[in-house]
Chain A
Amino acid sequence: MTPAAQLLIGLVFVPLSTALVAVLLPPRRRRWAVVLGGLAWPCLLVPLSMAVAREQSVVMVFGGWAPPLGIGWRLDALGLVVLWVHALAGIAALPSAWRRFDPDLPESGPFWSLWMILATGVNLALLAADLFNLYVALELTTLAAVALIATDDGIAALAAAMRYLLLAVLGSLMYVLGVGLVYAQTGSLAMHQPGIEALNNVALVLMLTGLMVKAAIFPLHVWLPHAYSNAPGPVAAIMAAVVGKAALVAFWRIWFETAEAPPAQLADFLGLIGAAALVYGAIAAYLQPRLKMVIAYSSISHFGFLLLLLPLASQQAFQGAGFHLLAHGLAKAAMFLAAANIVVVLGSDSIRHLPGLDKRMPLEAFTLALAGVTLIGLPPSGGFTGKWMLLSAAWETGGWFWLVLIVLSGLMSAAYVFRILALTCFHPARRAVHHLHPRPPKITSLAALTLALLAVVIGLYPHPVLDLLGAGMPGMVR
């Protein structure tokens, strides 16, 4: 085992042990544990990034049995990108979470512990190199997420959590059924099994459908808007940044690595589903009466966008989609953190209350605007870079339909982003007097702003990430 491979253990066990410690320690000592745990595992990403850049992937096997016979963990470029989103969003959410769930208070123990379990689950899902490990990791993630949503006081959050739980369990069942079929067919659970002829189509569809529920891909998205918009602010930020994405990455992996050469019609069909998601999410986002709902529906639209990788299926498209994943994750987390502060100050996130907010909370307004620029994909921003790569890929493969769709997706995002900005900054009612609560500490605003800035700045210097993603996935056209 290489030294880098040993670090993979840290990615899982640091958050896991922090989760344990957070419940066991008395409140006054808890603060150090959660800060240490929350900041320690992101540090591991630095040496791991160098290792992945050198060797394309870092593999750890258990008991000396390499996959496909044994099981193991594998960190590749795509996993690394999502891990970075996870780490950055997690660090940025810390101040906001700290304000909301002060670790010194006895009753906030479960929150920190659940958060760290969520982090464990997400990291594990990104590392999993076999289908069953992935199942366990996604279950862990889902359960922790459900509980975290329910940490909000309102009855709406409880209902949303319940709805999420039921749907996610249904998704898990379908997925695990598919996994069973794969095992029956090939006798192995490894995610990548070179040499299998064609995967059983029923198994493939079952697994993909299960993951579509977890990744909230239209029309199986129904849990997401309520879950994200009713969860406490920092939870929504983390979830929007990585929980759906971990499932989406699993989706891509099963498509490109496990199925290897899936039927072309299915790729086009899933691309069309992505297109429908893109349009539906954008229209729904435009119509929402609450800020957090707008942001949540925007996620549905962008998940649809990311599904377009399936029909395009080239190395360039993979780089574009991976980059979009990064930019979107950062921008979304930034928006939810800003929205969290807005909820604190206004006591609600109804967009009727937004006019004039730019004067009270200029940093939040600026964060929403910057993140919006990335969502629309205006240059120069991370969103533009991803979009340009996908467009080039569509051009190269002659996919004119996809090309036009990708181009139009920017316009659709622009509609809901500018609606919010116009309301916030320029609406005539902006001199209205708000019943204001004291604003949260400035560091929470700055953390959100930093994420949004990062989402834009990566567009100016995308080389490291694109080089990492350059290897593509099996079954992709170079």
Chain B
Amino acid sequence: MISPWTTQILPPAVVLVSTLAAIVIFVAGEARQRLRIWVNLTAALLKLLLVVWIGLEVLAGTTFMFRFELLPGLELILHADALSILFASLSAVLWLVTTVYAIAYLEHSPNRARFFGFFSLCVSATMGIAMAGNLLTLFLFYELLTLTTWPLVVHNGTPEALAAGRSYLRYTLTGGVVLLTALVWLYGLAGNAVFTPGGFLAPLAAEHGGALTLIFVMLVAGFGVKAGLIPLHGWLPKAMVAPAPVSALLHAVAVVKAGAFGIIRTVEDVYGLELVAELGMRLPLITVASWTIVIGSLLALREHHLKRRLAYSTVSQVSYIVLGIAVGGLLATSGGMVHLVHQGLMKITLFFCAGIFGLLLGVKRIDQLDGLGRRMPWVSGAFTVAALGMIGLPPLVGFISKWYLASGALAAGMPLVLAVLITSALLNAAYFLPLVRRLWLNPPGTLVEAPIEIGRLPRLALMSSAVATAALVVVLGVLAAHPLSPLNWVVKIAQGYAP
């Protein structure tokens, strides 16, 4: 049995572990590389352990709740429900892998203390989003995330990086402002309310229907900026100038997922899907998600720059999550939520590989990928696995998500959604298969830059990170039926929302 004090202290502890790491890293300064590596890895492992511990306790039925009154009637609440654990464990696992990758990737570059400091803070903010127990707390960490990712986006300090940073701030701070307005309004109407499965606004619907609709639109738009809903996605491709580990984390876990997670919370725990449907907002949400899925893929097709193509692919794929939530029902909700994890694993693998190609071989454009399979079989293999997963090839994780989404769409009687899913799968194939073909079947081209030699250990770290996440793409797909797989975890969550 776990003491009541521990159930209060653990949620903030999970958040603060990486904050502490960040402080140590900042104070230690640039030169203390060994200390930095140790602090990074220890904090990442500790965080993972804490999340696993909380997860097991949540499974056993313990409730975790930390409340702190910020203002009268305005509480900071950190809690842990199954959905928190889903996002938190994804972040914890991927943070650990990305830390290993980033240490190797940035082996010789300047300003590493600053980079890893903000990197840790960024994970703190993500954990706060995962553990948030009400909208205010979610908003607070959502804004912190903006603050802590901006230094990572502009890390290189080139004019393009600065421009990307400006664009990022313009989008996300405006989104934050829209959220804040919605939040003030919502608190005025409903007071200080905790996330409740099925929502807590239903009693207000009769009297304030119009206001609630408008607030819903504002919340989705505010979170949609980071989730990259078209047309709010403009910052995402530009942010690709950031170093590869940042892109990987931004796309797989932190920023984009924070937006999607916010939408999940809004729909499931603030409004409840029934109320959303009652307000006439379900169909528009499905439409926006479908539109983003298709248009995102089309835009990806147009890009010839590897990372930018991946960026548009993210725009498209993250909307699967929103789509699943909006369609509703056990199957579609599970499919959407599990994509939070599955897309994270696949996308981080792709970005890891793209980063390795870029760092070691100077390969940045798609037409430079020719014949890399022979030069770097492991990395190319990982890339191929993740790309095939994205297309939805069984038994990889992407297939699991899409299968549940498709079955859910049929169960909900929405054949058009199925059409969207099929179109998207075809488009995915259209923009990923040529890459795979280039990697393995095209004759090797000449490299634009001489290959960069790095030490054996960093090289191993880079490759093993990519291979490890690729292996997860396979393993979690094959073992989807295992009781502790993300899929089963998500089905448990979805049962709470859509019995």
Residue numbers of A with Cβ under 8 A of B are 358, 373, 378-380, 385, 388-389, 391-392, 394-396, 403-404, 407-408, 410-411, 414, 418, 422, 425-428, 430, 459-460, 462-463, 466
Contacts and interface: CB of A to CB of B under 8 A. Distances in A.
Contacts of B155: 426
B188 A395 contact: yes
A394 B187 CA distance: 13
A379 B177 contact: no
A385 B74 CA distance: 10
Given A378-B143, A426-B151, A428-B158, A418 B169 contact: yes
A389 B139 CA distance: 16
Contacts of B69: 463
B157 A379 contact: no
Interface stretch (B178-186, B401-409, B462-470, B485-493): B178-186
B147 A373 contact: yes
Given A427-B157, A462-B70, A466-B72, A410 B177 contact: yes
Interface stretch (B159-167, B296-304, B444-452): B159-167
B185 A395 contact: yes
Given A388-B74, A411-B174, A418-B169, A395 B158 contact: no
Contacts of B144: 378-379
Given A373-B147, A411-B174, A466-B71, A404 B181 contact: yes
Interface in B414-458: none
A392 B151 contact: no
B173 interface: yes
B154 interface: yes
A358 B154 CA distance: 14
24 contacts: A378-B143, A378-B176, A379-B143, A379-B144, A380-B140, A385-B70, A385-B71, A388-B184, A391-B180, A392-B188, A396-B188, A403-B181, A403-B184, A410-B173, A410-B176, A422-B162, A426-B151, A427-B162, A428-B158, A428-B162, A462-B71, A463-B69, A466-B71, A466-B72
A391 B184 contact: yes
Contact of A426 (B154, B169, B181, B184): B154
Given A392-B184, A422-B166, A428-B158, 5 more contacts: A380-B140, A422-B162, A428-B162, A462-B70, A466-B72
B70 A460 contact: yes
A459 B155 CA distance: 29
A396 B188 CA distance: 7
Given A378-B147, A414-B169, A407 B180 contact: yes
Interface in B216-240: none
A411 B162 CA distance: 18
A396 B158 CA distance: 46
A423 to B, nearest CB: 9
Given A392-B188, A395-B184, A422 B165 contact: yes
Contacts of A422: 154, 162, 165-166
A365 B6 CA distance: 37
A378 B150 CA distance: 14
Contacts of A426: 151, 154-155, 157, 161-162, 165
Contacts of B154: 422, 426
Contacts of A391: 180, 184
A346 B101 CA distance: 38
Nearest to B110: A431
Contacts of A380: 70, 76, 140
A326 B295 CA distance: 49
5 tightest Cβ-Cβ pairs between the two chains A and B: A379-B140, A395-B188, A426-B154, A391-B184, A426-B157
Contacts of B174: 411
A170 B29 CA distance: 53
A434 to B, nearest CB: 17
A389 B165 contact: no
B118 to A, nearest CB: 11
A401 to B, nearest CB: 13
B267 to A, nearest CB: 23
Interface centre among A379, A394, A463, by most chain B C-beta atoms within 10 angstroms, is A379
Interface in B139-153: 139-140, 143-144, 147, 150-151
Contacts of A463: 69, 72
A373 B173 CA distance: 12
Interface string B174-213: 1011001100110110000000000000000000000000
Contacts of B70: 380, 385, 459-460, 462
Nearest to A366: B26
B269 to A, nearest CB: 20
Contacts of A430: 157
B291 to A, nearest CB: 27
A78 to B, nearest CB: 19
Nearest to A320: B71
Contacts of B162: 422, 426-428
Contacts of A403: 181, 184
A426 B151 CA distance: 8
Nearest to A389: B71
Nearest to B186: A395
A385 B72 CA distance: 11
Interface string B64-95: 00000111101010000000000000000000
A402 B155 CA distance: 37
A430 B165 CA distance: 17
Given A426-B161, A427-B162, A430-B157, A411 B184 contact: no
A70 to B, nearest CB: 38
B396 to A, nearest CB: 39
Contacts of A379: 139-140, 143-144
B477 to A, nearest CB: 39
A373 B151 CA distance: 14
B439 to A, nearest CB: 34
Contacts of B188: 392, 395-396
Nearest to A323: B71
A422 B158 CA distance: 11
B338 to A, nearest CB: 31
A52 B174 CA distance: 41
Contacts of B177: 407-408, 410-411
A373 to B, nearest CB: 7
Interface centre among B71, B165, B181, by most chain A C-beta atoms within 10 angstroms, is B71
Contacts of B139: 379
A38 to B, nearest CB: 30
A127 B69 CA distance: 33
Nearest to B137: A379
Nearest to B150: A418
A324 to B, nearest CB: 13
Contacts of A392: 184, 187-188
A411 B176 CA distance: 9
A394 B169 CA distance: 26
Nearest to A408: B177
Contact of B157 (A373, A428, A466): A428
Given A422-B162, A426-B161, A428-B157, A414 B184 contact: no
A414 B139 CA distance: 17
A405 to B, nearest CB: 11
A30 B187 CA distance: 56
Nearest to B76: A380
A420 to B, nearest CB: 13
Interface centre among A373, A394, A407, A459, by most chain B C-beta atoms within 10 angstroms, is A407
